[in-house]
Amino acid sequence: MLDGLWRYRSFIASMVRREFQARYLGSALGALWSVLNPLAMIFIYTVIFGQVMRARLPGVEDGTSYGIFLCAGLLPWNMFVETLQRCTSVFVDQGNLLKKMTFPRAALPIIVAASSLVNFMIIFGLLLLVMVLLGRFPGWPLLGLIPLLVLQQTIAVGFGVALGVLNVFFRDAGHVVGILLQFWFWFTPIIYPLSILSDRLQLLVSLNPMTAIVDAYQGILLYDRSPNWLAILPHAALALLALAIGRAVFRRLAGEMTDYL
């Protein structure tokens, strides 16, 4: 499978580029919207939530802290959700392509993950620029974002591939995932710090695999703190499990997908 993906690397790169261009096809400003939309979102989070609402977080006293807290949680979460949801529907959405062209079917979720990464890098780069202007640029702990990104994308792609294959045969799978992600969002400390919950709720929310990952992002960007890798270690095992499940389901059912598309 890896050999096939490597041989079709040019196809994967061209599809990622095509997806990016298709987002803004026909608009007057074109790709400029990839900058304007994230800037508007970051402005709302850092200025309106941070300054107007004057939200405060433990250990941080300035007015922009809550905005950075929100961005640190929402940006990777949105990337995770985009990857998982699009992987869930990618085989159905690209059914015509699968019938007309010969290429590794595993390339489709890779294209989705790479496209999500490109969008994230644009938005996150703008966030870092804003943090520089605010004098809040994190130091060396910023490098900890790389393994966190790999970890969360591996989980999203692994489960997304399994769900994407199942969605070909049972189209309700995509709708179920959308509903579950709504509940998952509120059980992840993105818009609220974990410390405000009761001990019982903290224990419950801590079972959420995205809790430690989001907390690590927030620790890096807000507190300039390196992640607690021991707390992240079980999530590495989960990522490997997700890949194993995705691979097993894909190898078992991929050959029959075309008949159902």
Task: Kindly list the domain boundaries of the chain, sorted by start residue.
Answer: 2-260
Integer Cα distance of 91 and 69 in angstroms: 35
- Average pLDDT of the segment spanning 76-98: 88
What H or E segment, with its residue span, contains residue 42? Answer: helix 33-43
- Phi first, then psi, for residue 169 (nearest 5°) are -95, -30
The runs of H, that is alpha helices, within 94-208 are 95-100, 107-133, 145-169, 172-186, 199-206
Following CA atoms 209, 210, 211, 214 in sequence, which dihedral angle do they give, to the nearest 10 degrees?
150
pTM: 0.86
pLDDT digits (tens, 9 = 90+) for 44-66: 766 666 665 555 666 556 667 77
Strand partners, 57: 60
Q: Among 58-62, 205-209, 240-244, 252-256, which range has the highest average pLDDT?
A: 240-244
Distance CA 30, CA 37 (A): 12
